[in-house]
Amino acid sequence: MEYGLIGNPLKHSFSKEIHEALGKYEYELVSLDEQEFLHFMHKKDFKAINVTIPYKQKVIPFLDEISIEAKEINAVNTIVNKNGRLYGYNSDYLGFKGLIEYNNIQVENKNILILGTGGTSKTTSYVLKKLNAKSIIFASINNEEGCISYDKIADYYDLIDIIVNTTPVGMFPNNYDCLIDVCKFKHLETVIDVIYNPLKTNLVVNALKHNIKAVGGLYMLVAQAFYAIEIFKNIKLDPEDIYKLYNKIFKQKENIVLIGMPSCGKTTIGQEIAIKLNREFVDIDDEIVKEIKMDIATFFKKFGEDKFREIETKVILKMSMKNSLVIATGGGAILKDENVLALKENGRLFFLNRSLNLLITTSSRPLSSNISDLKNLYEKRYNKYLECADEIIDGNLNIQTITNTIAGGYINEDINN
């Protein structure tokens, strides 16, 4: 290959589309086990590569020269082959610095907890020191020297201002894993997770839920790729392209999730949005029917609401791990915090706020089959919809207006535009 990424695993990676968009070359994702990695590095059959976990430090002995920054950080994520000599660089630190600057995160004089001790933790700590952090504490699951164990983090609940996750915990396909409870930190201002798939990890979503500033790692990924391409090709690119591509990819990957009362139009509008943006449409109720192999009203009669909600959560967790979908949820999907958290990891929640007098009853909806039940549901759920929504849409407008309103935020960035 000429250009690509080595690491393991790589199923989560967005790097191919980023490099091919910015660098205008074919970029391969090459997942290597330990033996394959050794053979690959000895063979040197590439022009330039990026390196990700778990090889950012393991590549160093194969290099003929290493940049000052990479040497100080002791981690390499960018390698250029110049006539058989391998030159190592670290563009991650520029990517992480860019993420901090883009999100206006104040580091100076802050006490920072870094989760993890691998190559990325070294990169982030390098940047944080340069930005005059007051103190940096590393947490390790392996009781490494100079680190605290996770069961000792409680001793720092009153101290920490910023948390940075550099571990793969919470990364696709293990989206719902999380190392810590942000609620226990008394003065926590900001959470940074370098993971970019999902767009917002469990850690980030929980922080945002508690009004703590929190960001994922997609901007860092795009920025480090930008600087790696400059090194690969020995060229200068327009820094504005970092923001443009970040915004485009975020919108491409973000699921459009419709929430609201039964009969508010989620399915109809969702289908129209999917057509307009050339996206896959998913109706959670339809997916549940596939799972239970009967209609929902019959299932309710036979097994009850609790069993239905259990199946609903299973389906939501599965669908929420995907990207670029338009998702219509069932009316009660937002009743469980677990569902909302999952939907928010890769999605933006739009509440179709349709007036009660415009909603209709139907026997196919067991909890709103008559006007009295529908009114009770509306009163019980309305505030929950408001609480969960990222954006509130006037559901009393016509279908085309609502479709255009929601799709308008995505149409210029959609993958086929």
pLDDT score recorded for residue 369: 67
Question: What DSSP state is assigned to residue 329?
Answer: P
Domains 94-220 and 254-407 share a fold: yes
Do 199 and 322 form a contact (C-beta atoms < 8 A)?
Answer: no
Cα Dmax for the chain: 78
**Reported confidence tier of residue 143, pLDDT bands at 50, 70, 90:** confident
Instruction: Give pLDDT, residue 373.
Output: 82
**pLDDT confidence of residue 372:** 82
Residue 416 has pLDDT above 50, yes or no: no
The dihedral region occupied by 65, where left means phi > 0, alpha psi between -120 and 50, and beta the remainder, is beta
Show the tokens assigned to 224.
């480090």
pLDDT in tens, 215-248: 999 999 999 999 999 999 999 999 999 999 999 9
The pLDDT value given to residue 360: 84
- Burial of residue 42 (number of CB atoms within 10 Å: 0-12, 13-18, 19+): exposed
| Alpha-helical segments (H) within 361-410 | 371-388, 399-407
Whether the pLDDT of residue 415 is over 50: the answer is no
Q: What is the pLDDT of residue 273?
A: 98
- The whole-chain average pLDDT of the chain stands at 95
**312: nearest Cα among 253, 259, 383:** 259
Mean pLDDT of 350-368: 85
| Cβ pair 52, 30 in contact under 8 A | no
Give the Cβ contact number of residue 154 at 10 Å.
Answer: 11
Fold of 254-407: Rossmann fold (3.40.50)
CATH T-level assignment (fold) for domain 94-220: Rossmann fold (3.40.50)
**Tokens for 49?**
């590569």
Neighbours of 233 (CB within 10 A): 16
The CATH architecture of the domain made up of 3-89+223-240 is: 3-Layer(aba) Sandwich (3.40)
Please report, for the chain, the start and end positions of each structural domain, with discontinuous segments joined by +.
Answer: 3-89+223-240, 94-220, 254-407
Backbone angles phi, psi at 111, to 5 degrees: -95, 125
CA distance linking residue 64 with residue 409, whole number of Å: 48
Q: Where is mean pLDDT largest: 299-313, 350-364, 400-414?
A: 299-313
Asked whether the bond before 198 is cis by omega within 30 degrees of 0, the reply is yes
Which residues are catalytically annotated?
56
CA distance 305 to 32: 46
User: What is residue 412's predicted lDDT score, i.e. its pLDDT?
Assistant: 62
* pLDDT per position as a tens digit, 270-288: 999 999 999 999 999 999 9
Compute CA distances 345 → 18, 49, 147, 168, 367, whole Å: 21, 30, 29, 15, 28
Work out the percent of the chain whose per-residue pLDDT is above 90: 91
Average pLDDT over residues 122-147: 94
Residue with tokens 């958290």: 341
Peptide bond into 366 cis (omega under 30): no
Q: How far is CA 239 from CA 14, 23, 220, 223, in A?
A: 19, 13, 13, 9
Interval 370-391 mean pLDDT: 92
Task: Identify residue 212 by its one-letter amino acid code.
Answer: I
Q: How far is CA 225 from CA 61, 73, 122, 142, in A?
A: 23, 18, 18, 31
Is pLDDT above 80 for 364? no
The pLDDT tens digits for 167-226 are 999 999 999 999 999 999 999 999 999 999 999 999 999 999 999 999 999 999 999 999
